[in-house]
A and B are shown apart, each in its own frame.
Chain A
Amino acid sequence: MQRFSALSLLRHALGGHTGWQPQWRAPAPKQAYDALIIGGGGHGLATAYYLAKQHGLRNIAVLERGWIGGGNTGRNTTVIRSNYLFAESAALYDHAVRLWESLSQELNYNTMFSQRGVMMLAHNQHDVQVFKRHVHANRAAGVDNEWLTPQQAQAFCPPLAIGSELRYPVLGAALQRRGGVARHDTVAWGYARAADALGVDILQNCEVTAIDRDATGAVTGVQTTRGAIRAPKIGVVAAGHTSVVMAMAGVRLPLESYPLQALVSEPVKPVLPCVVMSNTIHAYVSQSDKGELVIGAGTDAYTSYTQRGALHIATHTLDAICELFPRFRRLRMLRNWGGIVDVTPDRSPILGRTPVPGLYVNCGWGTGGFKATPGSGHLFAWTMARDAPHPINAPFALDRFRDGATIDEAAAAAVAH
């Protein structure tokens, strides 16, 4: 692996940038591996990286139906935060934030992680009470979060309107200063490059068509569009398509897949210094380093795999953004798109073993999976390598739906992520 540094950039610049090598190989599939990861998004590639780096499993492969990072990893709005209400969730997402803080150094790849602060607006008394409860719960759990008055919120984010004439006035805000954004593609590319350097085969355009099992029910491998591959351990990290893949092993999951939309504006000079979210009027917005406003909309009302969404969902979000930020009204939107998110009944992920021996699942991240990418991969690798969950992801087992031990962030973390 060619390491990136200021010196290597300078050396290659002097050579006309002709000496760079591909960042990962394009190997032919082997007949057998020690473990397979189905899904080459950020979570799957991170899983492969930590399996190779921390658990010594290097004869492994990542199977990707299309190209790596082409699903939700490339379609999200890149918001990173850990201010979840429940202790289990706060521990899970803060584990990821801690890994984000050193990820660029870990991978020798600039993920452009920017802790510019995530501010969640309160528009009514209920919001105020809920967010103050969040602030107290987070601080008790060791996660930073603080309460701002409307004036403090506007001082932190000058373009924000806080006047009393607003349909939804700003009564205050909860601010997590360690929250922020990262460059989504670099997360997939950085993990792919680092995993490849440790010997992991990244197999693109390799769609799994069947999961093979022996007489005891345990997995033995998969059939793919690039041939049969044997492996005693398989981890499914397929986001919106998890139900489709798991059905190949006869496993039903508590998941429904919905389109979630996002859109970006034309690029402008720096105008928005932080991430602003409003659960009540259902909008969230940040500004990329390229200058585009990155705006997240809601999910559509019905399940779908179409990777698009209805226009009225996006326009509803833009109405809210334009009221909060009057100066954005003249901006034109450049692109909008949808990703397919797998949503659980309690809006918390499922990360662990399945009823099928050798088969593991990492799914249900719903509308907020990007922020968890490093932590998700780290914990899932642990779970696959040891056939037992890490203490942080133990509460997120599939069994919690049978046991009634759900982690009901649906009401607590609200809709936007």
Chain B
Amino acid sequence: MLLITCPWCGARPELEFSYAGEAHIARPADPAAVSDADWTAYLHMRTNPKGPHRERWRHTHGCARFFNALRDTASDTILATYKAGDAPP
């Protein structure tokens, strides 16, 4: 089980958290203006890297806030966590 450091609450066990997928995927400001390919990329295409991955977590059973983490998917080491809206490390 991972030990995850919530930027607001500190280190807590993984069971308190929900995973929410790849981070920094911005919804197109004007969906009607984007091409089918770009909309498909926004909805479905994911980097899915083997290595450092910027991803969203939610402290569901704590402060309930979303935040971001940088985690190495090859080792599950959490390299950093940071608040939503902050620049990624």
Contacts and interface: CB of A to CB of B under 8 A. Distances in A.
B66 to A, nearest CB: 15
Interface of B: 1-2, 14-15, 17-19, 21-22, 36-37, 40-41, 43-50, 53, 55, 71, 73-76
A18 interface: no
Nearest to B17: A301
A183 interface: no
A244 B22 CA distance: 15
A254 B47 CA distance: 9
Contacts of B55: 302-303
Contacts of B44: 254, 345, 401
B46 A252 contact: yes
Given A252-B47, A301-B19, A310 B74 contact: no
Nearest to A252: B45
A304 interface: yes
Contacts, number: 65
Nearest to B74: A305
A256 B40 contact: no
A255 interface: yes
The 4 closest A-B pairs by CB, nearest first: A243-B48, A254-B44, A252-B45, A302-B19
Given A301-B19, A402-B37, A255 B75 contact: no
Interface of A: 241, 243-244, 247, 252-257, 301-306, 310-312, 342, 345, 401-402
Given A252-B41, A311-B1, A402-B37, A304 B46 contact: no
| A254, A255, A303, A342 interface centre (most CB from chain B within 10 Å) | A303
A345 B22 CA distance: 13
A295 to B, nearest CB: 20
Contacts of B46: 243, 252-256
B75 A402 contact: no
